[in-house]
Amino acid sequence: MFAKIIELENAFDILIPKRRIEESPAEEMFAAAALWTEAVWAKAEELGPISLTNEQTNDGLRIAQSQVFVCGVHRSGTTLMRDLLDGHPELVVFPSEGSYYVSLEPKLLAMPKDEWAKYLGIEWIRRLANPINQPPFWVLGRSIETSSPYVDFARYLMSWWPIVNKENPMWPHISIILAYASCTDKLKAKSWVDKTPTNERFLSRIWHEMPNAKIVHIIRDPFTTLSSHKKMDKFFNLRHSLLNLKYSFKVAAQQSTQRDSRYTLLRYEDLCDDPSAITKDLASFLNIENSDILTQPMVAGIPSPANSIFAKGAPAGQILKANQHPQSETLNTAEQQVLAAYMGSLAGKFAYKLAPVKPLHKFYFRLKHRLL
C-alpha cells in the first residue's frame, strides 16, 4: 500500500547528510525530498482526512489557545532551550523552527488560499524528516508497507485545517501544530512551543494576536554569538547579524523594565552553568511540573546531540565550553572592534563585558558599517 512512498523515502534518506552541514544541501537531496513529499501528500489526499473525535477536537482547540514562543538571535541558545522543553509531557514542541512570521507567512500571502494547505503540508513533511540538517532524522519514525506516519500527519492536517479558528492570523501554523500533536499523541498537553530565532521582532504582533502567549527570550555573550554565527553561516553578513543582535538586546532591556508576567529572559551562560535552577524557574513560568526531564535535551523523544554533554551531574559550564568557538580564531580584530563599538553599553546591562572603544573610534566604526 505504501511501497512507492517507502522507495522514495529510502532514496531521500540516502542523501540526507549524516553530520551537520555548513553549506546548503545538494540539489539532488532537494529533488529527492520533493518527490517523496509530493507522493506522501498525494497518498493523503487519496485516503482523505482522519476523522477526529469530539474529545480530540476539544483538546486541540484548547491547546491552540496556549502558546509559548522561544526566541533570540541565531546561535544564542534557542535550539538548546527547545531541546530541553521537548521531552516534557505537558508540552508539544516542534522539532524544527516554526518560522511562520519570519518566512512562511509571506510565501502563503503570495499564493492563492486554496494552495496553502498543500504548500505548508509538504514543507512540514520534509522538515519532520530532516528538521535541522543533523540527527535525529525521521522524527515520526519510518514508513512501512501498511502505514506511514507522514501520510498520517498530512491527513491530520487536512482534518484540522477547516476546524481551527481563523480569527488568529497564525491559524495555518496552528493547524500544523495540531497535526503534529495528533501524530505524537500530545493533544492532552498544556501548551504548544514554537522555537524561531529573531521572533522577538514580532513581539507586539504576537501579543496582539495571542494575548496570553508566553515568551522565553534567550541571550548569549555577543562575542560568542557572533563568532558562532560566522563559523556556521557560509553567507555570514556582519551588518545584518549586528542589527539582529542589537534589536534582540533592546527588546530584552525594554522587557526587563516592564516586568510582564508573560515574558522571561534567560542568559545562555546561566542555563549552562546551573541548568537545574534555571529550568525550575522556567517550569514555574510555564506552569508545568518541574522535572529532571527539563535537563535532558531531546528531539521528538530522541536524545539530542546536546544530551551527552548536558547530562545530570556534568561539571558546571561543560556544555558552554563545548559550544564556544575561540573568538580570536573566528572574529578578526576589525569585527571585534565593530561589535564592541555597536553593542558595548547595551551588552553591559546584562553583565557582558566588551572592550571599551573611544568615542571617535566608535563613531568611525559605526559609520563605516552603516550602523549609526
CATH number at residue 150: 3.40.50
The reply to whether 327 falls in a domain is no
- Residues 313, 341: one domain? no
Distance separating alpha carbons of residues 242 and 369, to the nearest angstrom: 10
Check residue 325 and give its pLDDT: 45
- Residues 271, 122: one domain? yes
Query: What pLDDT digit, counting tens, does each position of 293-321 carry?
Result: 998 898 877 777 666 555 555 544 555 45
How many CA atoms lie less than 13 Å away from 344 in the CB half-sphere? 16
Integer-rounded Cα radius of gyration of the chain: 21
- Residues 277, 338: one domain? no
The reply to whether 356 falls in a domain is yes
Check residue 329 and give its pLDDT: 61
- Residues 284, 364: one domain? no
- Residues 220, 343: one domain? no
Check residue 245 and give its pLDDT: 95
The reply to whether 282 falls in a domain is yes
Residue 148 · residue 41 · CB < 8 Å: no
Distance separating alpha carbons of residues 293 and 86, to the nearest angstrom: 9
- Residues 299, 364: one domain? no
The reply to whether 79 falls in a domain is yes
- Residues 234, 152: one domain? yes
Instruction: Scan for cell 522561544, then name that residue.
Output: 70
Number of domains composing the chain: 2
Q: Which residues does the chain have with pLDDT short of 70?
A: 18-25, 305-329, 358, 360-365, 372
The reply to whether 29 falls in a domain is yes
Range of the domain at 343: 332-368
Check residue 250 and give its pLDDT: 96
- Residues 339, 277: one domain? no
Q: Which helix (H) or strand (E) holds 298?
A: strand 298-299
pTM, entire model? 0.91
The residue among 306, 288, 289, 290 whose CA lies nearest residue 298 is 306
- Residues 294, 344: one domain? no
Query: What pLDDT digit, counting tens, does each position of 23-75 carry?
Result: 546 889 999 999 999 999 999 999 999 999 999 999 999 999 999 999 999 99
Distance separating alpha carbons of residues 194 and 85, to the nearest angstrom: 11
- Residues 97, 79: one domain? yes
Question: What Cα–Cα distance (Å) separates residue 223 from each residue in 45, 145, 175, 220, 245?
Answer: 49, 51, 38, 9, 11
- Residues 258, 354: one domain? no
- Residues 185, 310: one domain? yes
